[in-house]
């Protein structure tokens, strides 16, 4: 609970710092560090000398390097709260406030979708595609798309974006990640990095974002960048590959009961939930059973992890299965590339 409180405080502090550097440290962060100091005293170990020392030193080292014994899942030992002067993915997931924001926006969208679905059954899919395909967008383009393609969700679309920070510019230009198209930020040594640290492994060069000088550059709000855009890139990749294989694929069936609904030539149906979390333990605690559609229930269901984190390997899968209340079979949990191979293997049975 102390670590979760610290995570909440760090996320709040990062949000405040984007607006002004004059904010005091959030109460959650101060209280969390005070609890940590008390634990250090009880274990007769060195303690952080206040919040500034914690943020500068402790938070930027893995938990395994802290001088105290911590009762937490083993996979947390390699995690740290701050990376590149920003809340780490582990910190964001542990806090959970961005998840709440994302769920709030999804609830708003769902309410609108249900009212508008008679006129446009694909409204929700169009909305999700926009957020995934356009993590960075000009205000003019956003307004045009919201009017022409998502008029009934115009306000929700507008609320999903905010002004891109000028501090991210390099030589007067914004740059986007060559892998995920997200906005790149400048490091202390004036290098460009993607907010999603896993994109660096793809070694794709950034590209300048094209924008009229009189227009405004927007990017998705933090929660949507993390919990919609990141896994969404994998969702759209899988959809595209399955369609290339000639399969019938539906994105976000019945307004997001799950992510991908796949129908094979023999009418076998598979359901897929795509996930992109740093912590398998934290993800497992959030997972719920994949619901079945009344009109076309699935025969098999899968939890598929984005290939960006495939380097986490079997330990990640084992940690997820061990802590998941759904108790999926080993054959139901895998990384994106392995799932495509499973699909291709099944398709070969129809070619004999």
Q: pLDDT, tens digit, for every residue of 313-339?
A: 999 999 999 999 999 999 999 999 999
Please give the average per-residue pLDDT across 38-63, as a whole number.
95
pLDDT at res. 19: 64
User: How far apart are alpha carbons 306 and 274 in whole angstroms?
Assistant: 7
User: How far apart are alpha carbons 217 and 289 in whole angstroms?
Assistant: 39
Q: How confident is the model at residue 34 (pLDDT cuts 50, 70, 90)?
A: very high
pLDDT at res. 111: 85
16 pLDDT higher than 90: no
Q: Where are the beta strands (DSSP E) in the chain?
A: 82-83, 86-87, 136-138, 161-163, 175-176, 184-186, 192-194, 207-208, 217-220, 248-251, 260-263, 269-275, 300-305, 333-335
Indicate the pTM of the whole model.
0.90
CA-to-CA separations, 38 to 45, 86, 227, 301, in angstroms, rounded: 10, 26, 34, 46
Residues 130-144 as b/e (b if ≥16 CB within 10 A, e otherwise) read: bbbebbbbbeeebee
User: How far apart are alpha carbons 155 and 148 in whole angstroms?
Assistant: 13
DSSP structural state of residue 298 = -
Q: Tell which residue, 137, 146, 334, 287, has the closest CA to residue 219.
A: 137
Q: Tell which residue, 338, 263, 340, 346, has the closest CA to residue 298.
A: 263
Give the neighbor-by-neighbor strand order of the sheet with 217-220. Answer: 136-138, 217-220, 161-163
**201 contacts 208 by C-beta, under 8 angstroms:** no
3-state secondary structure 5-49: HHHHHHHHHHHHHHHCCCCCCCHHHHHHHHHHHHHHHHCCCCCCC
CA-to-CA separations, 226 to 4, 36, 180, 319, 346, in angstroms, rounded: 18, 28, 12, 21, 32
């Amino acid at each position: 609970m102390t670590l979760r409180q610290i995570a909440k405080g760090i996320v709040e502090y990062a949000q405040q710092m984007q607006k002004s550097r004059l904010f005091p440290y959030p109460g959650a962060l101060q209280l969390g560090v005070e609890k940590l100091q008390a634990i250090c005293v009880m274990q007769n170990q060195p303690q952080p000398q206040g919040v500034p020392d914690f943020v500068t030193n402790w938070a930027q080292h893995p938990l395994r390097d802290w001088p105290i014994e911590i009762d937490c899942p083993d996979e947390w030992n390699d995690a740290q709260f701050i990376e590149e002067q920003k809340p780490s993915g582990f910190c964001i997931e542990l806090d959970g406030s961005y998840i709440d924001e994302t769920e709030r926006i999804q609830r708003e969208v769902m309410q609108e979708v249900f009212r508008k679905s008679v006129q446009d059954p694909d409204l929700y899919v169009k909305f999700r595609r926009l957020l995934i395909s356009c993590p960075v967008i000009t205000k003019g383009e956003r307004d045009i798309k919201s009017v022409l393609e998502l008029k009934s969700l115009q306000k929700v679309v507008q609320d999903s974006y905010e002004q891109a920070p000028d501090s991210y510019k390099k030589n007067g230009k914004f740059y986007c990640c060559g892998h995920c198209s997200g906005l790149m930020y400048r490091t202390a040594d004036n290098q460009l990095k993607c907010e999603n640290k896993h994109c660096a492994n793809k070694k794709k060069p950034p590209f300048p974002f094209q924008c009229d000088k009189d227009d405004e550059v927007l990017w998705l709000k933090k929660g949507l960048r993390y919990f919609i855009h990141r896994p969404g890139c994998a969702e759209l990749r899988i959809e595209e590959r399955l369609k290339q294989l000639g399969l019938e694929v539906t994105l976000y069936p019945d307004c997001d009961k799950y992510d991908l609904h796949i129908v094979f030539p023999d009418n076998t149906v598979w359901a897929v939930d795509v996930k992109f979390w740093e912590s398998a333990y934290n993800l497992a605690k959030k997972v719920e059973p994949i619901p079945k559609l009344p009109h076309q229930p699935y025969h098999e269901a899968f939890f598929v992890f984005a290939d960006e984190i495939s380097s986490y390997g079997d330990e990640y899968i084992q940690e997820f299965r061990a802590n998941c209340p759904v108790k999926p079979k080993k054959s139901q949990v895998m990384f994106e590339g392995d799932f495509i191979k499973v699909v291709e293997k099944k398709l070969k049975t129809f070619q004999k």
